[in-house]
Amino acid sequence: MGENTGKCLCGDVTFQVTGEPVMQGNCHCNDCKKNTGAAFATILFFKDEQVNVLSGETSSFQYIADSGNKKTKEFCSKCGSLVYGINTGRPGIKSIYIGVLDDGSFASPQFNVYTTRALPFVPIDAVCIRISSA
């Protein structure tokens, strides 16, 4: 895909991602529901060096995930859009929710995780691998 740009809701924080995501999937866990306010999250994972914040200021919030890993969310200090996440269980990787990219149409989620927590009305693509918990 080459390069892709993204921005938060207010436009202060802009960033660029380069190259293909190392992994991409849909997550139905409760953390993702709380983080996004949505029914599930499509997450793209990139190596740190693939992600460049170009402008704006982020604030961070840390919490302990179900897995016991420490997670950090970096969000726009002004509008609160989640820009990327860091997980101590995945060193060197940033997770980006697809909605902050300007064009997420290239993505092709490979798996669904925490499908046991998927809301009943959410269709799960049959070609995706289902993982009930991870």
Selected from 51, 76, 83, 100, the binder of Zn ion by CB under 5 A is 76
- For the residues of 32-100, what is the DSSP string, one character each? HHHHHSSS-EEEEEEEGGGEEEEES-EEEEEEE-TTS-EEEEEEETTT--EEEEEETTSTTEEEEEGGG
What is the C-alpha separation between 41 and 50, in angstroms, rounded?
Answer: 21
Provide the 10 A C-beta neighbour count for residue 104: 16
Structure tokens at 55: 């402008």
Selected from 32, 83, 86, 98, the binder of Zn ion by CB under 5 A is 32
Instruction: State yes or no: residue 27 binds Zn ion (CB under 5 A).
Output: yes
Smallest distance, Å, CB 117 to Zn ion? 9
Smallest distance, Å, CB 2 to Zn ion? 25
Selected from 47, 78, 90, 130, the binder of Zn ion by CB under 5 A is 78
Smallest distance, Å, CB 118 to Zn ion? 11
Q: Between 17 and 100, name the residue whose CB sits nearer to Zn ion.
A: 100
Instruction: State yes or no: residue 79 binds Zn ion (CB under 5 A).
Output: yes
Smallest distance, Å, CB 16 to Zn ion? 16
Selected from 8, 82, 96, 100, the binder of Zn ion by CB under 5 A is 8
Structure tokens at 20: 């293909």
- CB 58, CB 75: distance < 8 Å: yes
CA 123 from centre of chain: 19
> Which positions touch Zn ion (CB under 5 A)?
8, 10, 12, 27, 29, 32, 76, 78-79
